[in-house]
Amino acid sequence: MRLKDIYNNNNRNGAVISYEVFPPKDDTDGHKQEKLMCELTQLKQYNPALVSVTYGAGGSTRGKSEEIVCRVKNELKITPMPHFTCVSTSREVIKTYLRAMEAAGVKNILALRGDLPQDGSCCHDFLHASDLIEFIKRESRLSVAAAGYPEGHMEAESLEKDIEYLKLKVDKGADVIYTQLFFDNNKYFNFVEQCSAAGINVPIIPGILPVLSYSQLSKMTSLCKVTIPQNFMNKIEHHKDDNNYIKSCGIEFAINQCRELIENDVAGIHFYTLNKASSVEQILKNTKLLKAKS
Ligand code: FAD
């Protein structure tokens, strides 16, 4: 199914669920990939509309990403959405990749610039995701998604300017926007309002991360602009080494976050699964319960 149809108000019954996974690192014998397929099989019962598969900076995980995309489609029978970054890739390579994805029956793609390489070894065919989106629309029949940043992208001079460029991505053909993770729903609601005022009228799907450990949270927040609500911080900061406790706080926090998002009629929720089913499963079960009761 194509993104436009997945998020079409007439087709969907409530919020559309989707999952993001990544190709496991150091997986020479394929054991971790098998584990990932088991986790996804467990999550399949909640009827995800799609599974997105990340793409390593500069194409470092390309083979593995493609393998997982094909397995999601052919073995799990779930619509896959490969991510693709253009920052270090030439026009010709991208063309070949698009042909391969279409030949494999892929219908959707998340088009990204990617983080700039620290050594400056950029290929200058595509400077921004908007250039990539324009190219994909010209060269393929893929439905395209783009990334959005409720608190602004790290490099953006302001949120307003970032939204201006987001509008460009939509004008070039993005059908849906998936947001970077956030913990403060008000940041998301304000962002959606600002996007709407800027003329962006495609679904903006919130990205939710169930926190699994303190170190993972610190790493994430060092990589992107994201506010951690003080009440959550107060709960976890004296239990930094207790992963079980942090994980249960993360689940509880995400349940409340999702509940409020659903009450506000979001078109979907995109889970950053970190390749693990259990937290997402708890959130889905409890969110469904809360929804059924209301
Ligand atoms: P862009 O939209 O190009 O924006 C990058 C910066 O340039 C922003 O500051 C923007 O304001 C500015 N800008 C945009 N257009 C213009 C313009 N025309 N002129 C001047 N300035 C402009 N990274 C990976 O490596 N692999 C992944 O699989 C991956 N998946 C992701 C999934 C999601 C949902 C999100 C939110 C991010 C993901 N990322 C991934 C991270 C992403 O690659 C980085 O955040 C990257 O730095 C920016 O990518 P972008 O597509 O948002 O870039």
Q: What is the three-class DSSP state of 247?
A: helix
What band does 11 get if pLDDT is binned at 50, 70 and 90? confident
Q: How far is the CA of 218 from the centre of ligand 1 (A)?
A: 21
Q: Domain boundaries in the chain?
A: 3-285
The vertex-69 CA angle with 65 and 71, nearest 5°, equals: 115
Any ligand 1 atom below 6 A from CB of 62:
no
Cα–Cα distance for residue pair 253/282, rounded to 1 Å: 12
Both structure tokens of 147: 């990334």
Check pLDDT > 50 for residue 291: no
What band does 119 get if pLDDT is binned at 50, 70 and 90? confident
Q: How far is the CA of 147 from the centre of ligand 1 (A)?
A: 6
Annotation: CATH topology of 3-285: TIM Barrel (3.20.20)
Any ligand 1 atom below 6 A from CB of 178:
yes
pLDDT value for 62:
85
Any ligand 1 atom below 6 A from CB of 165:
yes
pLDDT value for 293:
36
User: Cα separations (Å) of 244 from 8, 212, 234, 235, 236?
Assistant: 38, 8, 17, 13, 11
Cα–Cα distance for residue pair 179/207, rounded to 1 Å: 5
pLDDT value for 288:
67
Check pLDDT > 50 for residue 289: no
Q: Which atom of ligand 1 is nearest to the CA of 127?
A: 3
Look at 71-80, 246-255, 282-291 and tell me which has the smallest mean pLDDT.
Answer: 282-291
**pTM > 0.85: yes or no:** yes
Check pLDDT > 70 for residue 292: no
pLDDT digits (tens, 9 = 90+) for 42-80: 999 999 999 999 998 777 788 999 999 999 999 999 999
Residue of minimum CA distance from atom 14 in ligand 1? 165
Q: How far is the CA of 236 from the centre of ligand 1 (A)?
A: 30
Check pLDDT > 80 for residue 122: no
Q: Which atom of ligand 1 is nearest to the CA of 83?
A: 28
Cα–Cα distance for residue pair 236/109, rounded to 1 Å: 36
Any ligand 1 atom below 6 A from CB of 60:
no
pLDDT digits (tens, 9 = 90+) for 131-155: 999 999 999 999 999 999 999 999 9
pLDDT value for 12:
76
Cα–Cα distance for residue pair 111/129, rounded to 1 Å: 6
Any ligand 1 atom below 6 A from CB of 59:
no
Q: pLDDT exceeding 70 applies to what percent of the chain?
A: 96
Which member of 20, 66, 134, 281 is catalytic? 20
Nearest by Cα to 42 from 78, 7, 10, 66: 78
The vertex-111 CA angle with 4 and 12, nearest 5°, equals: 20
Cα–Cα distance for residue pair 170/182, rounded to 1 Å: 21
User: For 97-116, what is the mean pLDDT?
Assistant: 96
Q: CA-based diameter of the chain, in Å? A: 54
Q: How far is the CA of 289 from the centre of ligand 1 (A)?
A: 35
Any ligand 1 atom below 6 A from CB of 182:
no
Any ligand 1 atom below 6 A from CB of 150:
no
Check pLDDT > 80 for residue 86: yes
Both structure tokens of 173: 């053909």
In which region does residue 87 sit, left (phi positive, over 0), alpha (psi from -120 to 50) or beta (all else)?
A: alpha
Mean pLDDT score of the chain: 93
Cα–Cα distance for residue pair 261/206, rounded to 1 Å: 8
Tell me the chain's radius of gyration from C-alpha atoms: 18
pLDDT value for 136:
98
- The distance from CA 265 to its chain's CA centroid, rounded to whole angstroms, is 19
Check pLDDT > 70 for residue 162: yes
Q: How far is the CA of 268 from the centre of ligand 1 (A)?
A: 21
- The distance from CA 63 to its chain's CA centroid, rounded to whole angstroms, is 20
157 a catalytic residue: no
Q: Which atom of ligand 1 is nearest to the CA of 57?
A: 25
Cα–Cα distance for residue pair 194/224, rounded to 1 Å: 20
pLDDT digits (tens, 9 = 90+) for 203-226: 999 999 999 999 999 998 888 999
Check pLDDT > 50 for residue 99: yes
Cα–Cα distance for residue pair 178/175, rounded to 1 Å: 10
